[in-house]
Chains A and B, each alone.
Chain A
Amino acid sequence: MDEVATKIIEILRKNMKDPSKEVTLETPLSDLEIESLDLAVIVFDIEDTFGIEIPYNANEEVEAFATVGSVVDRVKGIIADSKASGAAA
């Protein structure tokens, strides 16, 4: 598992009721007993850790927050985009 994935799983664990539970990239977030407010806290923590902004609205179903792997992919995408725009600027 790469650094981004490791850091994200670390952040998820902080917000889990039972942090000893196994977490893989395939684990659905719903299995981690993470609720809407937890997700806002997790997104905040991820934004802070990676210095990025993640568009997320708790009122909308977001495909990118289905599994741990989809969160990792979304974050990597945003990091790549911000680097690209930084280079262009």
Chain B
Amino acid sequence: MTQSNGRRRVVVTGQGVVTPLGTGVEKFWTGLKSGSCGIREVESFETDELYITIAGEVPDFDPRERELSKQLLMADKYSQYAGCAAREAVLQAGLETPISDEDAFRTACIIGSGVGGLTTLEFSYKMLFKENKRATHPLTLLKAIGSSASAHVSIEYGIKGPTFGVVSACSTATHSIGVVYQMIKSGLVDTGIAGAAEASLNWGATRAWQAMRVLSPDGLFPFSKTRNGTVLAEGSGILVLEEYEKAKARGAPILAELMGFGMTADAADMVNPSIEGAATAMKIALDEAELAPSDIDYVNAHGTATAVNDVNETRAIKHVFGNAANNLSISSTKSMHGHTLGACGGIEAAASIKAIEEKFVPPTIGLAETDPECDLDYTPNQGKARDVNYVMSNSFAFGGLNAVLVFGPNPA
């Protein structure tokens, strides 16, 4: 296993998060381990005329206390979250920054977002249409663009290789990580920063989500018989990925190996997922990792707590894993950090990597009575110690856009 045989392997050397359970991986992981809930009554905007008044807001994010550059202090919150998570990941990886001239063009920065600076746009439209202001703030456009987070982070660290944002709604971060994985594997780059950020909690966006009738007014209870929808949240999850030999040579901390990535589209419906699309993405990721289904210890599920997702995901897992599904530990950490939309795959990748590192499966909280159609082990209410070596992290998005990552231990 340790021989690369000419094949380039990809490892994770740093990770950073901003979440409703707190900012920074340690705070986040402590929250997950103890089954804390980051979903609360909304504080950052007025909830007049809304019937959804709960969300997963980041409780401890003051940009001035996060040592962000002046440019990032002027940016939209989604870019600030990305800048903060990237900083944590880069510091942990011990990357020398700015990246040297030699490596700058062989380093990628792929940071996506479901909707970019939506809150900036809402504010500027309010000023124009409601307050009849003469002009919008001059930085409105730059703040709103969905690729600004990746641009800001490339500027912060002098990354001059492939830099752009990937968009696939709730699979955005997972696709971004997968794309950088492919770039390193194919030899295009040796190092990459990958993930996503989302900060779309505002009055107008909540109205838009409310109109779809998929939000829960009570909480996010995945796989539960009484689940009644998802809960919006915000944050960021970002990884530093590196080619294994290079990371080893510079003595980088190797947190995990990124072993496989699968992506598919259902090509069926905007909101009703298919078993085939989800299952095939899982299968591709497993095959690429050269693992059997029975090798996987833990599945960090997409688990949005909508009626359709949780049943479909359960069926897709059974389809891929067969009998091995009964030995899996599964959990939806969204029950604790909420649905951070585009960012969820990055935040859940961090949870997956910590599960390997600490040999611990975080729970699905709020799971008093399981839906009879969801009959696997979702690690209800309390996390548990388990010898976790291989983890699958699922992301499935509106439109039927599926992305799956498989992580394993340090190859050494």
Contact = CB atoms under 8 A, between A and B. Distances in A.
Contacts of B227: 59
B270 A59 contact: no
B142 interface: no
Contacts of A40: 211-213
A85 interface: no
A62 B296 CA distance: 38
A36 interface: yes
B228 A57 contact: yes
A35 B269 contact: yes
B272 A43 contact: no
A50 interface: no
A71 to B, nearest CB: 15
Interface string A35-64: 111011001100000000000111110000
Q: What band does the interface of chain A fall in when counting residues whose beta carbon is under 8 Å from B?
A: 10 to 19
A36 B307 CA distance: 11
A38 to B, nearest CB: 10
B214 interface: yes
Q: Which of B212, B213, B227, B270 has the most chain A CB atoms closer than 10 A to its own CB?
A: B213
A43 B214 CA distance: 13
Contacts of B228: 57, 59-60
Contact of B272 (A36, A39, A56, A57): A36
Given A40-B211, A40-B212, A43-B213, A59 B307 contact: yes
Interface residues of B, number: 16
Contacts, number: 37
Contact of A59 (B211, B216, B269, B272): B216
A58 B272 contact: no
Interface in B261-298: 269-272
Interface in B300-349: 305-308
Nearest to A55: B51
A40 B269 CA distance: 15
B229 interface: yes
Interface core residue of A40, A58, A60 (most chain B CB under 10 Å): A58
Contacts of B213: 39-40, 43, 56-58
A41 B307 CA distance: 18
11 contacts: A35-B271, A35-B272, A36-B271, A37-B271, A39-B213, A57-B213, A57-B214, A57-B228, A58-B229, A58-B307, A60-B228
Interface of A: 35-37, 39-40, 43-44, 56-60
Q: Which 4 A-B residue pairs are closest in the complex by CB-CB distance?
A: A59-B307, A58-B213, A59-B229, A40-B213
Given A40-B211, A58-B307, 8 more contacts: A37-B270, A37-B271, A40-B212, A43-B213, A57-B213, A58-B214, A59-B228, A59-B229
